[in-house]
Structure 1
Amino acid sequence: MSLTVYADFSCPDCYLAAHRVDVLRAAGVAVDWRAVELSPHLPVGGRKLSADEQDGLAQRFAELDELLLPGESLPRTIPALLPKTEAAVSAYAEAYGIGVADDVRRLLTALYWQQGADIGSPAVLRGPLEGPILRGTSTVEALRSSGYAVSVDRGPITFEAWRRTVTWHREWAALGSSALPVVLTGGATLSGRDALQRLGKEIDYAQAPIAPAWDDPRRFPPAGTATPTARWVSWCGGRWRRGFRVPAAR
């Protein structure tokens, strides 16, 4: 049975959903992840989270602990910024069309929830995205030669990716569910906690092994490695001879 998931990269529940989708896809289960922007009216630079809001996120992760399967874990560092995720959605929409969607989904999720990076900033995403985008199958010059996936105004580079973001948002809006993630399967529409529980059941059905937590995106390849692995390039960008630093959240 195939599953369709709608999710935003800055949603705590979507972090767990993203990891479970990785497990299912690795086990050969067909899962179509579609990125949507949960809070499109945020300022371009995002919004600093108050101490109460950060406490609320920590509490939400504590509640999600009850749903964890053996081997699963959740981040313990709470970001200081709530980003406007338009740029992240745009990057994912480009990656979706060129065969590197899984890499970019992992990267964007880890950058925000493990590093606190402003994934709404095209400048912040430029270096990390370069590797997976260059490894994709695009014939568009900006993507194929330079690894660009997000324009300066946070939109996609190609019309196809722009149309994809619009379609995903319309589909999600038509479902009438404001809670994310949303999972569609077998004619059922599940959201929030119910969606996470269904993904967990699918993992049980598939008898899929739980993958370890995602690596630090800034980790360098082992000493003496002449050519980095595709996984490392996916995290750190195509020009591996120089590292990159994720700008601190404002």
Structure 2
Amino acid sequence: MSEQNRITIDVVSDVVCPWCFLGMKRLENALASLPDIKAEVHWRPFQLDPTIPPEGKERKAYMLAKFSDENRLKQVHANLVSLGAVEGISFDFDAITVAPNTLDAHRLIRWAAASGDGVQDKLARLLFSLYFEQGKNIGDHAVLVEAAREAGMDTAVVESLLATDADRDDVTNEIVTASRMGITGVPCFLLDGKYAVMGAQDSATLADAIRQVAAEKAAGEPTLN
């Protein structure tokens, strides 16, 4: 496979964003439809609410404060459940009791990038599933360590790092950089660092964008900004 058929996809997301979970599934489907294109996917941090304390907040009260209307919240959840079913996601919002701070989860995702091919992807998928399908508190270090173990990471190293401030500033700086780039919502898919696809677009739209970037790269043309 030539270098022209290889592209990098940076996925800016937060693991408590249901649209990011949908976006992950749709990206997987898009890439599966493009067997001639090799994509190197990197997960980049974003926090929907960095003000949540480390211990998290009671989710129902937190969500009601955001939406102000319980019926509206139920409608949003019902819509996401329907969309998720199409992508093979079993959203279980009733199982979620804690709205966590995701900074430590993003630190773990960062470390996963250095843990071997496919580990970061597997970890991101696990964290989405743990939160949205199983109602786990992904701000809890014990939950994060177990996720690291399942993804194939060195849990002793992870456990020791989580107890420190390792990479906390680096993750925070990445989030600030994303905001300076104009990313105010997630998911955002950055293709070869030049072309952005915003939101949880359907798989066909993502596939078309990836195909376009790959074709322009193969032709030696500048990618659209």
**TM-score (normalizing by structure 2):** 0.68
Q: Give the aligned CA root-mean-square deviation in angstroms.
A: 3.3
Q: Distance in 1 between matches of 2:150 and 2:89?
A: 26
What per-residue deviation string (whole Å, max 9, x for no partner) do you get for residues 116-158 of structure 1? Answer: 1110111222223224344xxxxxxxx4x725255125x44xx
Q: Which residue in the other structure is 1:88 paired with? A: 105
Q: Alignment partner for residue 136 of structure 2, among 105, 117, 123?
A: 117
Q: Which residue in the other structure is 1:37 paired with? A: 47
SS at match of 1:176: coil
Q: Which residue in the other structure is 2:219 paired with? A: none
Q: 1:6-21 counterparts in 2 under 5 A?
A: 6-21=12-27
Choose between structure 1 and 2: higher helix proportion. Answer: 2
Q: Distance in 2 between matches of 1:74 and 1:55?
A: 23
Q: Distance in 1 between matches of 2:174 and 2:203?
A: 20
Q: 1:100-179 counterparts in 2 under 5 A?
A: 100-134=119-153, 143=154, 146-148=156-158, 150-152=161-163, 155-156=165-166, 161-162=167-168, 164-179=170-185
Q: Distance in 1 between matches of 2:10 and 2:129?
A: 21
Q: Unaligned 5+ residue runs, structure 2?
A: 1-6, 212-225
Aligned positions, number: 189
SS at match of 1:29: strand
What per-residue deviation string (whole Å, max 9, x for no partner) do you get for residues 166-187 of structure 1? Answer: 4421321212332111222374
CA contact 1:130–1:148 (8 Å) conserved in 2: no
CA contact 2:56–2:99 (8 Å) conserved in 1: yes
What per-residue deviation string (whole Å, max 9, x for no partner) do you get for residues 7-54 of structure 1? Answer: 000011111012223334555433332122222111111111236357
CA contact 1:5–1:34 (8 Å) conserved in 2: yes
**Percent sequence identity over aligned pairs:** 24
Q: Which residue in the other structure is 1:189 paired with? A: 196
Deviation at 1:115, TM superposition (A): 1.0
Q: Distance in 1 between matches of 2:148 and 2:27?
A: 20
Residues 1:4 and 2:15 are matched in the alignment = no
Considering Cα pairs closer than 8 Å and 6+ residues apart, tell me whether 1 or 2 has the greater RCO.
2
Of residues 36-45 and 51-60 in structure 1, the stretch that sits farther from structure 2 once superposed is 51-60
